[in-house]
Amino acid sequence: MRVSCLPGWLLCLFVGVAWPIHAMAVSVSVSGQVDRPGVQSLNGNARLGDAATAAQVRPEAYVLGASWTQKSRQLEQMRLQAGLLYELGAVADQARREGNAPLAELSAKLRQWLQAMPVTGRRVVRTLDPGALYADDADDLPLEDGDTLDYPQRPSTVRVVGAVRKSCELPHVALQDARKYVKACATQMADRDFLYVIQPDGKVFELGIALWNESAPMVLAPGAIVYVPLDSRLTAGAADAVFGREMADFIATQPLDGGVLP
């Protein structure tokens, strides 16, 4: 180290001194099928794999249904929810004016269901499997303070929600197409052209179900949700063209064991 002082001044320059800079720690809460649940205090450069290792994710954890939430993503999701609530209210009001009591009742019911869902800040990524995180740095993303990770148990059912007469939860059947689950449930005022599949990892897929746009069969994983949108012909003028997709996107923000059936 070299010290240089200017004559007549109490000012010295310290040259060649390397002061250590420590990244601030981040707190990450990990829950579910882990040996060390709770808040993990990690270094400021921590990544997903570090949190998974600290919590010791169990082999039986259902990693396909794992969820990662971040506070920084809540505002965007809050805005999405507010817009959807407004549109469902507009659909109900329009239905009442037109004398369509069943649609008014269903849309009000869906609005109540949506309003009860928390804004989670869920971030959908390719994988949260601890082994995969260490195998590929591109998947091992950096954490933010206050993040949460949840590794649930493997479920055994599939849910069908949306334009249905009553809550519909069905046993998962290996290799069964999404449309067969919907056929097992009583729908009402459902869209004739599209369904939305929400896989347990939060990824959303649009399925064409009409003759003109029929999609290839889609197999569902345990814990998947099929969202049956309202008939777009009935909601036209009150909800925009992407209303069904945006509803599916918000449902996908809910953790595997969260939310309530409509």
Concatenated DSSP letters of 184-247: TS-B-SB-SSEEEEE-TTS-EEEEE-STTTPPPP-BPPTT-EEEEPBPHHHHBTTB-TTHHHHH
Secondary structure of 116-148 in HEC code, one letter for each residue: HCCCCCECCCCCCCHHHHHHCCCCCCECCCCCE
Task: Let me know: does 184 contact 235? Beta carbons within 8 Å.
Answer: no
- Residue in 6, 16, 57 with CA at minimum distance from that of residue 34: 57
Beta-bridge mates of residue 3: 14
Spatial CA neighbour of 232 closest among 111, 91, 108, 85: 91
Would you tell me which CATH number, out of the four given (3.10.560.10, 3.20.20.80, 3.30.450.20, 1.10.569.10), belongs to the domain 71-122+155-251?
A: 3.10.560.10
pLDDT score for 16? 44
The one-digit pLDDT tens for each residue of the chain (262 residues) are: 444 454 544 444 444 444 444 568 999 999 999 999 999 999 989 999 999 999 999 999 999 999 999 999 999 999 999 999 999 999 999 999 999 999 999 999 999 999 999 999 999 999 999 999 999 999 999 999 999 999 999 999 999 999 999 889 999 999 999 999 999 999 999 999 999 999 999 999 999 999 999 999 999 999 999 999 999 999 999 999 999 999 999 999 999 876 555 6
As a whole number of angstroms, the distance between CA 243 and CA 116 comes to: 18
Q: Note the pLDDT of residue 262.
A: 62
pLDDT value of residue 13 = 45
The answer to whether 87 touches 175, Cβ cutoff 8 Å, is no
Q: What is the reported pLDDT for 261?
A: 59
Give CA–CA dist 257/255, Å, rounded.
6
**Helix, strand or coil, per DSSP, at residue 102:** helix
pLDDT at 11: 44
Every domain of the chain and the residues it spans: 71-122+155-251
Q: What is the pLDDT of residue 231?
A: 98
Q: What are phi and psi of 240, to 5 degrees?
A: -80, 175
- Region of residue 94 (left: phi > 0; alpha: psi -120 to 50; beta: else): alpha
Per-residue HEC secondary structure of 3-59 comes to EEECCCCCCEEEECCCCCCCCCCEEEEEEECECCCEEEEECCCCEHHHHHHHHCECC
Give residue 2's pLDDT.
47
